[in-house]
Structure 1
Amino acid sequence: MSRAERKKELIQAAVFVLPTLAVLLVFTLFPVVYAFYLSLNKVNLVGNVSYQFVGFQNFINAFNDSRVAEALWNTAKYVLIVVPIQTVLALILATVLNSGIKFQKTFRSLLFIPTLTSSSALTLIFMFIFSLNGPINSLLMDLHVYTQPINFLNDQSTVLYAIMAMNIWSTVPMFMTIYLSGLQDIDSAMYEAADIDGANMFQKWFKITIPQIAPVTNYVVMMGLISTFQLFDQPYIVSQGSGGPNNSTLTLSLIIYQYAFRQFGTMGYASAIAILLTIVIFIISMVFRRFSSEDITGEGR
């Protein structure tokens, strides 16, 4: 190939790559760099825009902020409860729908409906379900579990768990679909061999199914961790952006929004919290990826 032809191919490749590269630079790299720059400044974006360099003071303030600590605790509790439950439920449903039961295509379609609905609409539906006159209270009173209705959404001891129920119900179908794809890739000969050896249903599930879909489980858990750490819309709608009652629905994403858009002069502080959230998600993701890779490959044993 001549030098002129090589140069022509490089130009053609650059023409195809430049639009994607421009989008990545403008909408990914620049916001990250700018957010880090804001985190090192006291920023006023209202009226006369000003930047006052404060170094790492915003990060120090975040570590000493009791509301940030509460938001971190709420987010951590949410992650620790929601991710395992939604992963296990998605796997169980996928296994059932992959077992050849009658009307399995109909069940798949029905179970996938929540994924097609917007998060805001689902939140409003669940707010009605958990309201004082909603179906949950009616059922509990009919069963004589309680004599008086419970104000789930205004009680700090129950509101976060109601939000967890919303999230689990809305995210399980998507992860179930991912598991279904993984289950259908397992070689049926492995199950036939297990049948010959006299393995029962549970033995086949634990010895064949779960190990074979370990990479799918890693992906599902990773996506669950990232999405739950970024929880924002449901607490915002339920608490009308306040994080109440008594900060019981305050998450890291919600407190970032409050400092960024509800208080003047704290955009830099909000950016610092956002950077810390990014670091937390990155560290947890890398740790999980490291241990999950060891489990699959057997390294480090």
Structure 2
Amino acid sequence: MGKKRYNNLQGYSFLLPALLVILVFTVVPIAYAFFMMFFKVDLLSGARTFVGFGNFEKIFSDPKFWASFENTIKYVAVVVPIQTIIAMILASLLNSRVRFNRAFLTVMFIPTLTSSSAMTLIFMWLFNNNGLVTNVLESVFGTKVQFLTNPDLALSVIMVMNIFSTVPHFMVVFLSGLQDIPGSLYEAASIDGANKVKQFFNVTVPQLMPITFYVVTMGLVGCFQIFDQAFIISNGTGGPQNSTLTFSLYIYQLAFSSNDMGRATALAFLLGIIIFTVTFIVNKLLKADEVNG
């Protein structure tokens, strides 16, 4: 018994530094933020006034909240499925041993290695009123499309940029999962008369379901938390006409522009609940834990 207690104590002593870091930098800030969301907090003076659920009432009555909600949901609904499908298809092509796949993989992975800020500046240069894409479209179709100043197109630029920069990473994740699929499954499907397309949908896709769940979950979390691209493109305003205002950018505006840390923390917790709920629903729909069991 003494030996077991000694081993347990030794194990906890090894865990103690990591547990202290988690406690100080994760648990305590979350608890303090939960406490602050029931107060009106002035960030500059530090003054607190208890308002109960008043912060949530203000949030739900603010048109900017509903604009950020609509933009974020639209962004998630478009980006996550497209980046997942493209990454899976590209991984399947690479796994089929096409020629020059190593060089192709290296070139494809470059956007992932580029910082999001640098990528945003590049896309701003491409899609501004005198950018390369704008000038090419004007020369081909005779119409000048203003992407970054058009409320209907500004968010689409961020969508394209995110898909372009995240697909390579998820492609590699899918590729690692593809290499774990037994070749006997494809041989059996081929004997049954399944062509490459049927093998993809009846063998590859089901076998990749746990990986797909991971990719979709990471995509959901990343898209719901999008901030830097929207901040840089709109210069922190969420414009034009709130068309690029996202949850995270709205939280930033509440905390550092309006000096209302109470509403900012309330919205942050609301965002956390939304992410948890959507992830839970995706887990139930994909049933990742029931595949390859």
Structure 2 residue 139 is matched with structure 1 residue 152: no
SS at match of 1:148: coil
Match 2:129 to one of 129, 132, 145: 132
Q: Deviations over 1:175-214 (max 9, x none)?
A: 1010000111111111122222222111111111111111
Match 1:82 to one of 79, 97, 106: 79
2:40 aligned partner, one-letter code: K
CA distance in 2, matches of 1:43, 1:137: 45
Structure 1 runs of 4+ aligned residues shifted over 3 Å read 294-297
Q: Which runs of 5+ in 1 are unaligned?
A: none
Q: Deviations over 1:84-142 (max 9, x none)?
A: 10000001110111111111011011101111110000000011111222221232123
In the other structure, the counterpart of 1:36 is 34
Query: TM-score when scaled to structure 1?
Result: 0.93
2:240 aligned partner, one-letter code: P
2:61 aligned partner, one-letter code: N
Aligned pairs for 1:69-108 within 5 A: 69-108=66-105
Query: TM-score when scaled to structure 2?
Result: 0.96
In the other structure, the counterpart of 1:287 is 281
Alignment check: 8 A CA contact 2:92 2:178 kept = yes
1:188 aligned partner, one-letter code: G
Alignment check: 8 A CA contact 1:214 1:296 kept = no
Alignment check: 8 A CA contact 2:138 2:145 kept = no
In the other structure, the counterpart of 1:210 is 205
In the other structure, the counterpart of 2:170 is 175
- How many residue pairs get matched? 292
Q: CA RMSD in A?
A: 1.6
In the other structure, the counterpart of 1:240 is 235
Q: CA deviation at 1:294?
A: 7.7
SS at match of 1:215: helix
Q: What is the identity percentage for the equivalent residue pairs of Structure 1 and Structure 2?
A: 48
